[in-house]
Amino acid sequence: MAVLPVYNTLVVPEGNTFIQTDYYKKTTGRNPVPDERIILLVLKENIHRDKWTPESFYPIGLVGQISEIHEEGYLLVHGNYRANIEEVTIYPGGQLDVSISHRPDTDERDSEDEARRLKEIKRAVVKFSEGFQWGQAIRGLVARWSSISEAAAALSPWMMNTNEERYAVLAEDSVLRRDTVMEQMIYENLEMSRIKGEAQSAQEEDHQKIYRETAIKKQIEYLQQELDDMHPENVSDVRRFEVKIQESGMNETARKEADKVLNRLKQEGKNSAEYGMLYDYLDFLTTLSWKKEEASYIDLGQAEKVLDEDHFGLGKVKDRIIQQIAVMNLKHQQSGSILCFVGAPGTGKTSIGQSIARALRREYVRVSLGGVRDEADIRGHRRTYIGAMPGRLMDGIHKSGVSNPVVVLDEVDKLSQSYNGDPASALLEVLDPEQNHTFTDHYMNVPYDLSGVLFICTANTLDTIPEPLLNRMEVIRFQGYTPREKYEIAMRHLLPKAREAVGLQEGSLEISEEALKTVISDYTRESGVRGLKKRMDTLCRKAAVEIVKAQAAGEEAPVVHVEKDNIRDYLEDHPIRHGRVKDTARPGVVTGLAWTSVGGEILYIETLLTEGKGNVTVTGQLGDVMKESAQLAVSLVKSLFPKEAAQLKDHDLHIHVPDGSTPKDGPSAGITLTTALSSLLTGVPVTPRVAMTGEISLQGTVEPIGGLPEKLMAAERAGVEKVFIPADNEDDLRDVPAEVKDRLTICPVHRAEEVLQALNILSEA
Ligand code: ADP
């Protein structure tokens, strides 16, 4: 026996149930056979086959028989008797098997009464159908009804009763009561249809128009699809965008805007300038990723491994990054605090951003902000401009193809302001988690959610980063590398990469340790390794030329050896004359330490007395800042050495601070100036192997300075042996590489007198 589930259909003994032939085939897995017996199971709710359980069916069903099979695609099942459903078995694919038992009716009908009621029903239905187009056919059908069940089942498809109400009829044991309920159902439905009909006629005209319009549209769509299928190469732009807008998953606002632009595109000729602009816009919007990515769990060990693979050293930085990843894991977030990497060029700030992306298995985008003056560079141009473009940020995200890339905002310190708005304020919005889920690029003109983006900023200095922007970020310093670290970086990373870039075999170029150290010390002057990378590239290119020449001459490929003695054959640059400290000491000249954009540097503060009338001249780079610092030092020295200072009255004092590479922190030469002046006035020379750094106050206290690690590294490199530093900077010594600390005698001081006494300029009181 075939078992069929039915839903929202009235199934009763004596009634005829319509079943779609397709449905029958799908559910039973076979073709209908005339007179075949069928069990109809009533579904409690209309759910898909995959979800059926035995509880999905009501406990009473109907056993019937296929009475007619129509070619139009349906069959009639005549209901025989009701059955208790004892057990339902559901096979994969939705095939059903049930065991049933006959459920008897109780019958107290009076046949005469029954006939009269049926007649009434027939009359009512015929009357109702009078104005109908199908009235005639309905009357033919009605004439064949021989019971109330038959009438109700035939009308069932039009009846507005719920599934429960229909089932309640089947579940009724008394035939008399069943008939009464069905009779009531028929009359109610006739009445409802009548009311609905009246209400409808008023709206009919409107509806008719809508139906017609929809029908025409469907027709067009269908024809267009046929055309597209015939000529896929010609699928019109409009149609393609229609599909792409559908599939892009963009938000409501974006969708509206896209639809609006698409409508304009439809009206434009293909060759107009406007068309191109609209096309570009839609192309941008539909190829942007609108999909929200899930935050995935990142294995910390794995992430650490990736970071170590790409970069040597940078332990503190890597630690901080791992912390960030751990927090992101815990909070199931795609982003966290905004890190700002600060340090000299070539210290690996940008490239570690790339490693972070790799560690997180996310896309990487670099947005260069250097020289950005226009707000539009960040936020895009409004589309009213010819040649309008999205801003750099959205452009980068677009290219990444995802909504959650790691974005490195390079050189935030090089943002500048102009009459065209303030790019920093646009950036503020980008970085503010409160606002950035609805960032609106002017070109896009619709909000885009940036909350899944992990932002990392890089900068050479914090001085020029606008305060509000800086407040949003967590600063991580990149100290610069010691020669030892540079050596390791060159051996492990730079050289292999350079070799690979020019296609050199591993054994074909050999650089001795001594040679590489010379390259580091004499051919580069930097905190980072950018220059060193260039030198490695040059070496490899030169070696490549040598090898290719040998091959061309038919010789065996040589192994190129670079030694300390022959470096100059390979590197065109002149070796840098490093600020090695001088050997001779002269009164009035003292070694200072400067912090420049390429790291630390030593410099000499020179002072000289000439015949004159007590004028003070300051020359050199630092201008006003230095002048103030010089005046302060002069006053302090006068108070410390009242007797010697008398000569200042009939002499001119000249102070010179050489330019070197542009030092950034003038005032920190205060203690050096004081010492140089004291040495000049007392005639006590100070050995150049002693250097110092520190600001000074009028009371003679030595105040803290910045860039201590870089300064000490420069001092060590230049051959300085002893350095005075402000006592308040002692904490910074933690960041100074051990090898540097080992080779320097570092003396923290509180007051200028301590320095002067240590140098025997001032006698101990
Ligand atoms: P920055 O952004 O600080 O100016 P980059 O990230 O551009 O520096 O680094 C310059 C080059 O030096 C890159 O090729 C980078 O891979 C390399 N580099 C810098 N630091 C390291 C390091 N610790 N280990 C390996 N390579 C490094």
Per residue in 500-525, pLDDT (tens digit) is: 988 888 888 888 888 888 888 788 87
283 and 342 inside one domain: no
| CATH code where residue 56 lies | 2.30.130
Q: Which atom of ligand 1 is nearest to the CA of 497?
A: 14
Directed axis angle between helix 252-267 and helix 237-248, to 10°? 180
528 lines ligand 1 (CB under 6 A): yes
User: 163: Cβ below 6 Å to ligand 1?
Assistant: no
CATH number for 435: 3.40.50.300
% of the chain exceeding 70 in pLDDT: 90
Nearest ligand 1 atom to alpha carbon 343: 3
d(CA 242, CA 286): 10
Assess if residue 547 is contained within a domain. Answer: yes
CB 486 near ligand 1, within 6 Å:
no
Of the residues 535, 570, 605, the one at which a domain ends: 570
Residue 455: its pLDDT value, please?
Answer: 92
Pocket test for ligand 1, best of 316, 488, 500, 529 (most atoms within 8 A of CB): 529
Residues pairing with 174 in the sheet: 106
Is there a contact between 72 and 66 (Cβ–Cβ < 8 Å)? no
Exposure string for 215-254, b = 16+ CB within 10 A, e = fewer: eeeeeeeeeeeeebeeeeeeeebeeebbebbeebebeeeb
Q: Is 348 a pocket residue for ligand 1 (Cβ < 6 Å)?
A: yes
Q: What is the pLDDT of residue 694?
A: 93
Kindly state if the Cβ of 314 falls inside 6 Å of ligand 1: yes
Return the exposure string of 625-656: e unless at least 16 CB atoms fall within 10 Å of the residue's CB, then b. ebeebbebbbebbeebbeebbeebeebebbbe
**Are the C-beta atoms of 497 and 360 separated by less than 8 Å?**
no
Please give the average per-residue pLDDT across 484-492, as a whole number: 91
Cβ of 511 below 6 Å from ligand 1: no
The verdict on 715 and 600 lying in the same domain is yes
492 alpha carbon to ligand 1 midpoint, in Å? 12
* φ, ψ for residue 439, nearest 5 deg: -70, 130
Q: Please state which of the ranges 62-66, 214-218, 605-609 shows the lowest mean pLDDT.
A: 214-218
Ligand 1 atom closest to the Cα of residue 313 is 23
User: How high is the pLDDT of residue 125?
Assistant: 87
The pLDDT confidence band at residue 585, using thresholds 50, 70 and 90, is confident
| Three-state SS at 130 | coil
- Residue of the nearest CA to atom 16 in ligand 1? 351
Answer yes or no: do 540 and 446 share one domain.
no
Work out how many domains the chain is built from and give that number: 5
Judged against a pLDDT cut of 60, whether residue 664 lies above it is answered with no
Residues 444 and 496 in one domain: no
The reply to whether 78 and 30 lie within a common domain is: yes
Q: What is the DSSP letter of 601?
A: E
267 belongs to a structural domain: yes
Probe target for ligand 1 pocket from 351, 456, 461, with the most ligand atoms within 8 Å of CB: 351
Domain that holds residue 33: 2-103
Over residues 667-690, the pLDDT tens digits come to 578 999 999 999 999 999 999 999
Which range is least confidently modeled, 134-138, 347-351, 580-584?
134-138
Are 524 and 657 within one domain? no
Residues 329 and 419 in one domain: yes
Distance (Å) from CA 529 to ligand 1 centroid: 6
Instruction: Residue 537: name the closest of 495, 578, 504, 575 by CA.
Output: 495
The residue behind tokens 């539909």 is 286
Q: Look up the pTM and report it.
A: 0.60
For residue 307 and ligand 1, the question of a CB distance below 6 A is answered with: no
Banded pLDDT at 358 (limits 50, 70, 90): very high
Q: Which two tokens stand for residue 215?
A: 């029908």
Contact yes or no for 83/39 (Cβ under 8 A) = yes
Give me the residue label for tokens 């106050």: 697
What confidence score (pLDDT) does residue 208 get? 65
| Whether residues 638 and 702 fall in one domain | yes
Q: Is 313 in the pocket of ligand 1 (CB under 6 A)?
A: yes
Identify the residue whose C-alpha is closest to ligand 1 atom 17: 348
Is 261 inside a domain boundary? yes
Tokens encoding 141: 């059908």
Instruction: Region of 52 please: left (phi>0), alpha (psi -120 to 50) or beta.
Output: beta
pLDDT the model gives residue 205: 64
Distance 348 CA to ligand 1 centre (A): 3
Residue 655 falls within a domain, yes or no?
yes
212: in domain: no
Question: Does residue 64 have its Cβ closer than 6 Å to ligand 1?
Answer: no
Rg (CA), the chain: 45
Residue 241: phi, psi to the nearest 5? -65, -35
Q: Among 411, 493, 526, which residue has the most ligand 1 atoms within 8 Å of its CB, making it the best to mutate?
A: 493
| pLDDT tens-digit series, residues 432-469 | 888 888 899 999 999 999 888 999 999 988 888 888 88
- Whether the pLDDT of residue 240 is over 60: the answer is yes
Q: How far is the CA of 347 from the centre of ligand 1 (A)?
A: 5
Catalytic residue of the set 289, 668, 678, 679: 668
Q: Is the distance from the beta carbon of residue 530 to the nearest atom of ligand 1 less than 6 Å?
A: yes
Atom in ligand 1 nearest the alpha carbon of residue 345: 4
Nearest CA, atom 25, ligand 1:
311
* CATH number, domain with residue 604: 3.30.230.10
For the question of residue 668 being annotated catalytic, the response is yes
User: Looking at the predicted structure, is the pLDDT value of residue 425 above 90?
Assistant: no
User: What is the pLDDT confidence band of residue 597, given thresholds at 50, 70 and 90?
Assistant: low
Q: Does residue 321 sit within a domain?
A: yes
Look at residue 315 and tell me if it is in a domain: yes
Average pLDDT over residues 413-433: 77
Task: Indicate if 353 and 380 belong to the same structural domain.
Answer: yes
Are 97 and 91 contacting, i.e. CB atoms less than 8 angstroms apart? yes
State whether the beta carbon of 351 lies less than 6 angstroms from ligand 1. Answer: yes
- 553 and 593 both lie in a single domain: no
Domain annotation covers residue 293: no
Q: Which of 459, 478, 497 is the last residue of a domain?
A: 478
Examine the pLDDT at 146 and tell me if it is beyond 80. Answer: yes
Are residue 488 and residue 474 in the same domain, yes or no? no
Cα(171) to centroid(ligand 1), Å: 80
Atom of ligand 1 nearest to the CA of 492: 25
The residue from 440, 460, 478 where one domain ends is 478
In this predicted structure, what is the pLDDT of residue 432? 84
Q: Is 458 in the pocket of ligand 1 (CB under 6 A)?
A: yes
pLDDT score of 202 more than 70: no
Closest atom of ligand 1 relative to the 344 alpha carbon:
3
* 71 burial type by CB count under 10 A (0-12 exposed, 13-18 middle, 19+ buried): exposed
pLDDT of residue 463: 80
pLDDT at 657: 82
Is the C-beta atom of 281 inside 6 A of ligand 1? no
The verdict on 553 and 644 lying in the same domain is no
Is the pLDDT at 730 greater than 90? The verdict is yes
Burial class (CB in 10 A: 0-12, 13-18, 19+), 295: middle
